[in-house]
């Protein structure tokens, strides 16, 4: 995703629902399968995995190869990872546990070149074509096409969701139903009425300013995706690579065991 239009941004901007998935196994082949299967984006998880190395770059290159927008989730608390992820070719950055507009503005400053932010210039990277596509055009493209997506997954975040999603430079948010459940003092229950109410408030805040909400559909994925679409979610993650495979294998093992 370098020098091209952001496919996820185009789909959402056209008023359509965008379907993607989440990758934990760090297999470039699975990124390619996602693209060839017709998905438009994927979330590469670098929060709950330990892959701040060449594996991430391989997945980002695979995404570029099949025209999939790769959203890289990085750890909160290290804004250098925002810049590094975008330089490596991510089409957007997701930062977890953002609970205030101040924190959202910090992500924007790290992700965007002046005048939108204070990101340092360095085009000797995949995104900058190793310097061959650098300069003002690359900076403009980076500011216009790469996405900044905070995660809404805490009680405080839902209280402040209007302010967070209203920050200039924030494109949309990812609602984390499981962590929001835990924040409410519940076991992970994305379909719990109190969690659904938090998601509803998030969608309403996003709609008010013309931005989007992403959310993960659980099993059964098609039925749960329909539920999320009815709630106004614009970007649906159809499960996780390892959870999908685990479900298929466990069902088969129970059936034949």
| Range with the poorest average pLDDT among 150-154, 160-164, 218-222 | 218-222
Residue 204: count other Cβ atoms within 10 Å of its Cβ. 13
- The answer, yes or no, to whether residue 212 has pLDDT greater than 90, is yes
Show Cβ contacts of residue 251 under 8 Å, excluding neighbours closer than 6 positions: none
For domain 7-256, the CATH superfamily is Phosphoenolpyruvate-binding domains (3.20.20.60)
Per-residue pLDDT tens over the stretch 92-101: 999 999 999 9
SS3 167: coil
Question: How would DSSP label each residue in 87-136?
Answer: HTT-SEEEES---SHHHHHHHHHHHS-TTT--PPP---STTTGGGTT-SH
Per-residue pLDDT tens over the stretch 47-70: 888 777 788 999 999 999 999 999
Given this model, what pLDDT does residue 120 score? 95
* Cα–Cα dist 47/137, whole Å: 31
| Unique residue bearing structure tokens 């992500």 | 107
Structure pTM?
0.95
* Residue ranges per structural domain of the chain: 7-256
Biggest distance spanned by C-alpha atoms of the chain: 62
Could you tell me which residue, 98 or 247, shows the higher pLDDT? 98
- The answer, yes or no, to whether residue 1 has pLDDT greater than 60, is no
Average pLDDT over residues 13-18: 95
């Amino acid at each position: 995703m370098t020098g091209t239009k952001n496919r996820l941004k185009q789909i959402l901007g056209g008023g359509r629902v965008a379907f993607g998935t989440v990758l934990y196994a760090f297999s470039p082949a699975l990124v390619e399968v996602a693209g060839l299967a017709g998905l438009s984006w994927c979330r590469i998880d670098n929060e709950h995995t330990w892959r701040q190395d060449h594996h991430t770059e391989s997945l980002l290159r695979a995404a570029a190869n099949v025209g999939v927008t790769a959203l890289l989730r990085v750890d909160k608390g290290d804004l250098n990872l925002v810049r590094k992820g975008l330089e490596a070719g991510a089409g957007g950055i997701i930062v977890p546990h953002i609970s205030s507009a101040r924190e959202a503005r910090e992500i924007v400053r790290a992700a965007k070149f002046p005048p939108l932010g204070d990101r340092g210039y360095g085009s000797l990277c995949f995104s900058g074509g190793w310097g061959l596509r650098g300069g003002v055009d690359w900076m403009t493209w980076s500011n216009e096409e790469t996405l900044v997506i905070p995660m809404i997954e805490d009680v405080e975040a839902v209280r402040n969701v209007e302010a967070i999603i209203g920050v200039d430079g924030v494109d949309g948010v990812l609602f984390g139903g499981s962590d929001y459940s835990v924040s409410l003092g519940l076991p992970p229950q994305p379909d719990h009425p109190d969690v659904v109410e938090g998601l509803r408030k998030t969608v309403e805040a996003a709609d008010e300013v013309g931005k989007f909400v992403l959310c993960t559909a659980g099993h059964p994925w098609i039925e749960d995706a329909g539920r999320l679409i009815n709630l106004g979610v614009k970007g649906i993650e159809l499960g996780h690579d390892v959870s999908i495979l685990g479900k298929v294998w466990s069902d088969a093992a129970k059936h034949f065991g």
